[in-house]
Amino acid sequence: MITRLAPHTYREFLTVKSKLKLHGFNNLTKTLSFNIYDICYAETPQDQQAYVEYINSVYDAERLTRILTDVVDIIGANILNIARQDYDPQGASVTILISEQPVTPTESQIEESPGPLPETILAHLDKSHITVHTYPEIHPVDGIATFRVDIDVSTCGVISPLKALNYLIHKFESDIVTVDYRVRGFTRDVEGKKHFIDHEINSIQNYLSEDTRNGYQMTDVNVYQENLFHTKMLLKQFELDNYLFGDATSNLSAEQREQVTAKVKHEMLEIFYGRNVAV
């Protein structure tokens, strides 16, 4: 449920060109979606199982909650509620309900009275929230292991989720990243004119730091008239030792290292392009 301001209350947001005075609440919904991939090679079944256990311990629900809490601070939001869960045999998820304004208890929140209905909570959750889900996966024959993290940051109002880009990319040591950003809905100025976006944007890349841009091969697919922006990122620097997991990989011959390098690079290219690529 969106809390609306009084009819004669005005909000302002800052654009590159000027400050625009709004009538009522900023109803624009901005959603930033990440698919982050980390790739490695684990040769034996024991190492493959150890990899899954490692991912489950390093990126469990508790640590993911800490990461998302940092994101909330970065974008300047406030936490309303946190739900988190670890899954058996693998994976975890966290959902954080956020608001633009600081949370101060109202009389209705502390008095003896029924709480809100579930549909009320879900309606708000649909507008401003952060979610993360993890997906460890291993190919039992090739030994290629992929760890995927899906993150959605959806805000309603002035808050921009784009400020969390650099932090999340570095926090998960990403090999491949696909990023989607979209703005939906509209807000009105005091003269009643609709505005379907409240900031200038040409590319998601403009919100990345210089070291991030230099470290990744990137490509854009943007539909400007639909306020839809898409960027794919592939890590440029490749050092095989950074992709090896387990004791069995420490004694690879030069020929084996060459074969594993080809496997890992092939896996990364297929994920980056989103299609099967002939060897």
β-pairing, 176-184 vs 228-235, is antiparallel
* pLDDT string in tens for the chain (279-residue length): 333 333 333 333 333 334 555 545 567 888 999 999 999 999 888 898 899 889 989 999 999 999 999 998 888 888 889 999 999 888 999 999 988 765 444 444 333 333 443 443 333 444 588 999 999 888 877 899 999 999 999 887 777 788 888 888 888 889 999 999 999 888 777 778 888 888 888 999 998 989 899 999 999 999 999 999 999 999 999 999 999 998 777 788 999 999 999 999 999 999 999 998 887
Q: For 26-101+115-273, give the CATH class.
A: alpha beta
Task: State how far the Cα of 131 lies from the Cα of 34, in Å rounded to an integer.
Answer: 10
Cα–Cα distance list, 232 to 52, 77, 156, 176, 179 (Å): 26, 27, 25, 8, 6
Per-domain residue ranges of the chain: 26-101+115-273
Active site residues: 128, 133, 156
Cα–Cα distance list, 174 to 24, 65, 187, 219, 236 (Å): 40, 18, 35, 16, 11
Amino acid identity of residue 178, one-letter, is: T
**How many CB atoms neighbour CB 77 within 10 A?**
24
Q: C-alpha angle 123/135/73, rounded to 5°?
A: 50
